[in-house]
A and B are shown apart, each in its own frame.
Chain A
Amino acid sequence: AQRVTQPEKLLSVFKGAPVELKCNYSYSGSPELFWYVQYSRQRLQLLLRHISRESIKGFTADLNKGETSFHLKKPFAQEEDSAMYYCAGSDSSYKLIFGSGTRLLVRP
């Protein structure tokens, strides 16, 4: 079955420290992968997608097909990065499968 796994419910780091939010997927074939973010009192919104290979707000994510991972990384965390992060995958259909989410807390 298609599955997206985020093993960490909470990740706490200090400002300026590197951040890595883990995401593993289980799909037959090559899925399209996304990271969505929900800041406090705001809507869930797209942060970045694998196909674009872009860096948004300093975050990047690399698809590792060997490890079936799509970890989200940022070299220096900022307090405003504190939010709920969701990894999601699609098998090129309309359906997005979301991970359970990781809450990132960046301490001053």
Chain B
Amino acid sequence: DAGVIQSPRHEVTEMGQEVTLRCKPISGHNSLFWYRQTMMRGLELLIYFNNNVPIDDSGMPEDRFSAKMPNASFSTLKIQPSEPRDSAVYFCASTIALGTSVYYEQYFGPGTRLTVT
């Protein structure tokens, strides 16, 4: 198993452009998380999906951010329009969750390093 797959690994874009980050969770996992990592704020949860349904998007910074999970094997995080302050590493993680417990290990992808100039 290749684990959680994210693409692209690196993205450089200009301010105002649309950015789409992609994630393929581990097969059989029913929960997916998007995190953002910055020097200032560390690792923050952006949104959590359970069985393809967004359960908690309270961490999404603003309306410029949106996330979808059209099926169990694919999720996207979109930023439109992008701004320099969105520059960060974005991680996707997946796990099997029974109920709401996170006692189950979260498996992280390699991350996408986004730079907005």
Enumerate chain A interface residues (CB-CB to B < 8 A): 32, 43-46, 49, 51, 86, 90, 92-96, 98-101
* Given A43-B3, A86-B43, A101-B42, A95-B110 contact (CB < 8 Å): no
* Given A43-B3, A86-B43, A94-B48 contact (CB < 8 Å): yes
CB atoms of B45 and A45 under 8 A apart:
no
Who on chain A is nearest to B4 by CB?
A43
Cross-chain contact of B100 among A32, A44, A51, A92 (Cβ < 8 A): A92
Q: CB-CB < 8 A to B44: which residues of A? A: 98
In angstroms, how far is the closest chain B Cβ from the Cβ of A12?
20
Q: CB-CB < 8 A to B25: which residues of A? A: none
Cross-chain contact of A100 among B31, B42, B101, B110 (Cβ < 8 A): B42
- Interface size class on chain B is 20 to 34
Who on chain A is nearest to B101 by CB?
A92
Q: CB-CB < 8 A to A95: which residues of B? A: 45, 48, 56, 102
B91 at the interface (CB under 8 A from A): yes
In angstroms, how far is the closest chain A Cβ from the Cβ of B60?
14
